Amino acid sequence: MYKTVAVHARSTYWTSFPVSGEEYSVVDANDLAKEVENACNALAQEGYEVIAISPITSGSVSNGSGYIQAESVLITGKMLVKR
C-alpha cells in the first residue's frame, strides 16, 4: 500500500535585482524543508517508509529571461509490512 502527500511552498517572497530593479519571487527553502520533514515524520508515524520525494516546478519568462522554482513537493511512502 502506498500513500502520496503534497507539500506546497507557501512561503515565497519578492526581491529585485540590484542593477535592473526587476522583481522575482524566491521560495523560502528553510520553510519548505521544515514542511517536508514534518510530512515525512507524519508518514513514518503512520507506518510508511518514504520512498520518493519529487519536486513540482513552475516558472515564467519575462523580457527574454526565465526562471523555475519549486512550487510543491510530492512525498510517496510505502506501508511497512507488520510482522
Whole-number average pLDDT of the chain:
84
Model confidence at 65, pLDDT cuts 50, 70, 90, reads confident
More confident call, 20 vs 2: 2
Give dist(CA 12, CA 26) in Å, integer.
5
CB 24 within 8 A of CB 67: yes
Q: How confident is the model over 25-59, as pLDDT tens digits?
A: 678 888 999 999 999 999 999 999 999 999 998 87
Angstrom distance (rounded) from CA 45 to CA 49: 9
- Judge whether residue 17 has pLDDT over 70: no
Domains of the chain by residue range: 2-79
**17 CA to centre of own chain:** 24
Assess whether pLDDT exceeds 70 at residue 62.
no
Band the pLDDT of 72: cuts 50, 70, 90.
Answer: very high
